Amino acid sequence: MDTKLLIQALLKYLFGVILLGSLIFLPAGSFEFWQGWVLMGILFVPMFCVGLIMLTKNPELLCKRLDVKETEKEQKMVVVFSGIFFIAMFVVAGFNWRFQWSVLPDWVVWIAVALFLICYLLYAEVLRENTFLSRTIEVQKNQKVVDGGLYAIVRHPMYTATTLMFLAMPLVLASPISFVIMLLYIPLIVKRIKNEESVLEEKLEGYKDYMMRVNFRLFPYIW
């Protein structure tokens, strides 16, 4: 086991737990915000399990997933605005619970939890199918076009899974205002996908043919 990679992954994991907990519970003003604990659980428990599997089975993939330094100028803007939307979503959700502005019923929360977990399974399957996945837009050495499994249905199944997960998060937190904020993420992911495809079409052999075979980018029969 790569000790350096393990330490790096654990530090980023713990930082994420502390940061998200702060963004949720400080605005809420209480640890009794149970929806916040539910989100922390369904996010970080599967994340720990998936990370452990990657560490033991495919450390190279884990290393790629930990690298968040974008080189594409357009993507740097996408990353910045995405971060702003996520921070706003969590903070507003905390205030929404604290001041009881507009709290969604429990049954909506649990439906969102189920959707989130289903999408996390899809996300894990994408990681299994495509060992070239990274957090940044790039063409890697010896990279090949992956066109089987979920990639035979849409060209970007990882974004399909994560977009639905991100939209489920504010519902898990019972905050309709936060859900509206996260709808602003959709134009950003559309921009990211279009930029990613232009890079792959230019630099990855066979990707142009793949685009002709698989018509839909994110959701079948929609886009």
CATH topology of domain 3-213: Four Helix Bundle (Hemerythrin (Met), subunit A) (1.20.120)
Alpha helix (H) residue ranges in the chain: 3-28, 34-57, 59-66, 73-99, 106-129, 157-172, 176-183, 185-203, 207-213
**Model confidence over 180-191: pLDDT tens digits?**
999 999 998 888
Which pLDDT score, from 0 to 100, does residue 157 have?
92
What number is the average pLDDT over the span 88-97? Answer: 97
- Separation in Å, CA 151 to CA 20, 155, 219: 31, 5, 11
Spell 79-93 as b/e; 16+ CB within 10 A means b: beebeebbebbbbbb
In this structure, of 25-29, 99-103, 133-137, the range with the lowest mean pLDDT score is 133-137
What number is the average pLDDT over the span 193-204? Answer: 84
Which pLDDT score, from 0 to 100, does residue 90 have?
97
From CA 81, how far away is CA 189, in angstroms rounded? Answer: 11
**Model confidence over 1-31: pLDDT tens digits?**
567 777 888 888 899 999 999 999 999 999 9
Residue 80 binned pLDDT confidence (cut-offs 50, 70, 90): confident
* Share above pLDDT 70 across residues of the chain, in percent, rounded to a whole number: 88
Task: Return the domain boundaries, the chain.
Answer: 3-213
Compute φ and ψ for 214, nearest 5 degrees: -110, 110
